[in-house]
Chain A
Amino acid sequence: MDRLLLDPFTEYAFMQRALIGSLAVCLGAVPTGVFMTLRRMSLTGDAMAHAILPGAAIAYLISGLSLVGLSLGGLAAGFVVALLAGWVARSTHSKEDSSLASFCLISLALGVLVISLKHRNVDLFHVLFGNILALDDAALWLLASISSISMLIMACLFRPLVIECVDPHFLRSTGRASSIAHFGFLFLMVINLVAGFHALGTLMAIGIMILPAAAARFWAKTLDATLIVAVLMSFGGCYLGLLLSFHFDLPTGPTIVLAFGGVYIVSVLLGLNGGLLEQRYPKRHLAG
Chain B
Amino acid sequence: MGYPFNVSIHLNNLTLTYDLHPVVYHLTATIAQGEWLAIVGPNGAGKSTLLNAMAGLLAINEGSIEGLCPGTVTYLPQQTRLDKSFPMTVCELVATGLWPKLRATKSVSRQELERCDEAIAAVGLQGFERRLINTLSGGQLQRCLFARVLVQDQPVILLDEPFSAIDAQTLADLTQIIKQWHQAGQTVIMVTHDMDYVRENCPQTLLLARECVGYGPTKEVLTEGNLRRAGQRSAAFDESARWCRVGMV
Which positions in A face B, CB cutoff 8 Å?
A: 38, 156-160, 162-163, 165-175, 177, 217, 220-223, 226
Contact = CB atoms under 8 A, between A and B. Distances in A.
A169 B81 contact: yes
Contacts of A221: 87, 132
B73 A173 contact: yes
B86 interface: yes
Given A174-B100, A175-B70, A38 B86 contact: yes
A165 B89 contact: no
Nearest to B18: A93
Interface in B166-195: none
A167 B96 contact: yes
Chain A CB count within 10 A is highest, among B83, B102, B133, for B83
Contacts of A171: 99
Contacts of A222: 87-89, 132
Interface string B152-173: 0000001000000000000000
Nearest to A167: B82
A160 B99 CA distance: 8
Contacts of B109: none
B83 A166 contact: yes
Contacts of A169: 52, 55, 57, 75, 77, 81
Given A162-B86, A175-B100, A223-B88, 14 more contacts: A38-B86, A156-B104, A158-B104, A159-B103, A159-B104, A160-B104, A167-B81, A167-B83, A170-B75, A172-B57, A173-B57, A173-B75, A174-B100, A177-B99
B9 interface: no
B216 interface: no
A162 B88 contact: yes
Contacts of A165: 83, 86
A163 B132 CA distance: 15
A35 to B, nearest CB: 11
Contacts of B138: none
Contact of A170 (B77, B89, B92, B132): B77
B56 interface: yes
Contacts, number: 74
A222 B85 CA distance: 11
A163 B99 contact: yes
Nearest to A165: B86
Contacts of B52: 169
Interface string B36-73: 00000000000000001001110000000000001001
B100 to A, nearest CB: 5
A276 B226 CA distance: 57
Nearest to A174: B100
A280 to B, nearest CB: 21
Contacts of B158: 173
Contacts of B89: 222
Given A167-B82, A220-B87, A172 B105 contact: no
10 contacts: A157-B104, A158-B104, A165-B83, A166-B93, A166-B96, A167-B83, A169-B52, A170-B77, A222-B87, A222-B89
Given A221-B132, A223-B88, A159 B99 contact: yes
Given A156-B104, A167-B81, A169-B57, A174 B99 contact: yes
A170 B96 contact: yes
Interface string B92-131: 1100100110111100000000000000000000000000
B104 A166 contact: no
A162 B81 contact: no
